[in-house]
A and B are shown apart, each in its own frame.
Chain A
Amino acid sequence: MGSAETAGTADEALLLRVGAGDEGAFRELFARYTAVSHALAFRLVRQAQVAEEIVQEAFLAVWRTPERYDPARGSVRSWLMGTVHHRAVDAVRREQAQRRRADQAAASAPRVAEDPIDDVVSALDLPRERRLVQKALAGLPDEQRDVIQRMYFDGMSQSQIAERTGLPLGTVKSRTLLAMRRLRSHLGEVSP
């Protein structure tokens, strides 16, 4: 947990410096999280250009208004990922038809090489964290993992999942909560 704690503390320190107009701090935060942010945005929107725009807009907001971060509501990392996720989900829901077209293109596109920037992010221990998160996801019961995948990684709403799977809405919500609790218990050591 030590390295994660250090990363979380360092993130907050960086954000404070960003608030004071420190370009170097912004670039360091950018280097830490853009690759993960880009991966998340791309996973949702499936279009490289749109994903990059989402990342740019999210970090633009960080640069312009870092004071929006509220430590009481979670770590800098969760704030950043939440910002990117919200923007990507909005894009998905606005561009449903466009996404259907892009899905076909993504299916035929060459797979991106794994871990292309491990050297850049190694200081943040992301490869280890990635393995832990993947393991935690893999450890979920299938029905819980399916809900998480659809909701977080595919940008589907609870109602869309209920409609698509035929599950009662209440079941979708209860599975979500159970999955989040289980993930939390497995990922405690990854928390900043």
Chain B
Amino acid sequence: MTLDHALIDELLAVRSLGGLDGDDAHLLERELAAHGDCDECRRLEAEHAEVAGMLALSLDPRPVDEGIADRIVAQEQRPERRPERTATAPADELSVRRDARLGRWQAAFGVAAAVALVLAFVLATRPSGGVHVPDTIVAFEGAPGELAMAYTPGERGALVWGAGLPDPGGGMVYELWMIEDGNPVRGACLAPTEGAVATYLDADLSSAELMAVTVESTDCPSAPTTDPVFTAALA
């Protein structure tokens, strides 16, 4: 690992364009974890994201059906305004597929349970510099092997580690998701080495009710394509 930003700069540039894959995706995770709470890393990430976002402006705009906004607002009422989802099936196919996915995730939510583990692991595994010592540890339930996460509720970041995990298969990795209001938000990709994983998750967990792990391609998709193999409910 390096403590300068040259490697991170290069890998973030590629990631901002959607091109990062293979070992470099994991290398970037490790480098970012090693840098911990790093202002320069965030600055580089924002800078590359900004340039990447501007590239889309070079294209000729394509109007969309104005009814899309109506459908989103009408069918997807925000939870705070309509706490209970309607039992009526949405009319469009997209919503039907989405609800089916949500159903699987919500079912997984009911299976998960938080279990406290040994805090000493945290001190041994946390990256150096700028990371607070987590005060809460949860164990994941699911596939064979052990997977746990240490974090502090209300604070950014978490340590995730595991052992005895099954090989996800050729060209596949484990992907960690934060479930917020029933929706999966990408966390990190985990490629086990002899069944073991350890990574620092640089993410805001304050809105997450549940953590879940799926088996995904090494491209680490931004939305899960398979059902969870591990879940853990958060406090």
Contact = CB atoms under 8 A, between A and B. Distances in A.
Contact of B72 (A56, A80, A153): A56
Contacts of A89: 18
Nearest to A89: B18
Interface in A147-192: 148, 151-153, 155-159, 161, 172-174, 176-177, 180-181, 183-184, 187, 190-192
Interface string A111-138: 0101111001100001001100110010
Interface string A39-50: 110110000000
Contacts of B181: 64-65
A5 interface: no
Interface string B207-229: 10000000001010111010000
B57 to A, nearest CB: 5
- Do most interface residues of chain A lie in helix, strand or loop, or is the interface mixed? helix
Contacts of B207: 65, 67
Interface in B50-69: 50-65, 68-69
Chain A, interface size category, equals 35 or more
Contact of A148 (B10, B17, B64): B17
A46 B54 CA distance: 20
A78 B52 contact: yes
B22 interface: yes
Given A40-B59, A73-B46, A156-B19, A90 B219 contact: yes
Interface of A: 21, 23, 26-27, 30-31, 34-40, 42-43, 51-53, 55-57, 59-61, 63-65, 67-68, 70, 72-75, 77-87, 89-90, 93-94, 112, 114-117, 120-121, 126, 129-130, 133-134, 137, 148, 151-153, 155-159, 161, 172-174, 176-177, 180-181, 183-184, 187, 190-192
Given A55-B68, A116-B61, 8 more contacts: A30-B68, A56-B94, A59-B72, A65-B180, A85-B52, A152-B19, A158-B20, A172-B14
Top 10 nearest A-B pairs by Cβ distance?
A78-B53, A35-B61, A81-B53, A39-B59, A86-B222, A151-B19, A74-B49, A157-B21, A40-B56, A133-B58
Interface of B: 9-11, 13-14, 16-22, 24, 42, 45-65, 68-69, 71-73, 76, 78-81, 94, 98, 180-181, 183, 185, 204, 207, 217, 219, 221-223, 225
